Amino acid sequence: MHIELPTRFGTIWAATGGKPFNPDLPTVVFLHGAGMDHTVWNQQSRWFAHHGRSVLALDLPGHGRSGGAVPESVAGFSDVVIAALDAAGVASAALVGHSLGSLIVLETGARHPGRVRALGLVGAAARIPVNSTLLKASETAVSDAISMILAWGFGPRATFGASPTPGLSLIGLGRQVLARSAPGVLHADLVACNAYDAGLSSGNRVWCPTVLVTGELDRMTPAHCGHKLAQAIPGARVVDLPGIGHMLPIEAPDAVLEALRIAL
């Protein structure tokens, strides 16, 4: 099931976790990472939708099934989130984001505290600088950029075929999600990620319950960077996942769900 949300940024498409969207229930909003879409949150969004929450797993503008142009900055993405809440008739929500999505969640929590009741930051850091070779490849050789992200993004267990779903290749799933993004989307996302430098100051302005989920073997947002961000957020809690890389929602869906379930 899904809902289409008309906003000034275009129509935002959101999966609702297999249940009709009900704005009267506590809402959880899921935001994907760079070049990805709502499908990275399939397992977590379905659990919340079937356990007393309403779910909006967004395709951000220009991603997946959503229209509109990709925002040029994390602040611009944050404006999209608020517009989506307005269109859905939601006064406040718990926000969950992975990687780029975690920066958007963080910025939204800082800029719009009255609209956010809790935050889940997955694979997060105050800054997520992008390797210059990856940034260039995302503009001129997207297939190479995807291969870099997959090589750096997953932990060794995923590389050797371990998957919580028998017969499912995690690397293959990641490639499939990234490869279906429209031309220019991955590059625009990485540029926005690379430019964002307000993480620590924004963290200081977040006062709602917050959980950070880090991967021990994350090479894109190392666990110690997540811990540093947590120190800037009053009362933030950290859940460390051993042996896991950066693609936490895909690589460790059950563990990520457990961390979020307790917090949200």
| Residue 5, beta-bridge partner list | 12
The Cα-based distances of 153 to 136, 200, 214, 248 in angstroms read 18, 23, 13, 9
pLDDT (0 to 100) of residue 158: 74
| Residue 122, beta-bridge partner list | 98, 213
pLDDT at 197 over 70: yes
Distance CA 37, CA 63 (A): 6
Distance CA 215, CA 154 (A): 10
C-alpha torsion sign, points 15, 19, 21, 26 = negative
Instruction: Mean pLDDT check: name the lowest of 52-56, 157-161, 170-174, 210-214.
Output: 157-161
DSSP 154-180: S-HHHHTT--SSTT--HHHHHHHHHHT
C-alpha torsion sign, points 225, 210, 82, 255 = positive
pLDDT at 167 over 60: no
pLDDT (0 to 100) of residue 165: 58
pLDDT > 90 in the chain, percent: 91
CATH class for the domain made up of 2-263: alpha beta
pLDDT (0 to 100) of residue 161: 60
* Higher per-residue pLDDT: 152 or 158: 152
pLDDT at 115 over 90: yes
List the domain boundaries for the chain: 2-263
List the structure tokens of 7. 């906003």
pLDDT (0 to 100) of residue 156: 85
List the structure tokens of 259. 């961390």
pLDDT (0 to 100) of residue 188: 98
pLDDT (0 to 100) of residue 163: 57
Residue with tokens 């919580």, as numbered in its chain: 164
Residues 49-74: tens digit of each pLDDT: 999 999 999 999 999 999 999 999 99
List the structure tokens of 19. 């249940």
Residue 118 CA from chain centroid, whole number: 15
List the structure tokens of 120. 């889940």
pLDDT (0 to 100) of residue 160: 63
The confidence band for 171, taking pLDDT boundaries of 50, 70 and 90, is confident
pLDDT (0 to 100) of residue 164: 61
What number is the average pLDDT over the span 179-204? 97
Q: Where are the alpha helices (DSSP H) in 115-247?
A: 132-140, 142-153, 156-159, 170-179, 185-195, 199-203, 223-232
pLDDT > 70 in the chain, percent: 96
pLDDT (0 to 100) of residue 262: 84
What number is the average pLDDT over the span 252-256? 95
What number is the average pLDDT over the span 126-155? 95
For the purposes of burial, counting CB atoms within 10 Å of the CB of 242, is it exposed (0-12), middle (13-18) or buried (19 or more)? exposed
The per-residue pLDDT of the chain, averaged, comes to 95
pLDDT (0 to 100) of residue 155: 87
What number is the average pLDDT over the span 141-147? 96
pLDDT (0 to 100) of residue 168: 62
The confidence band for 166, taking pLDDT boundaries of 50, 70 and 90, is low
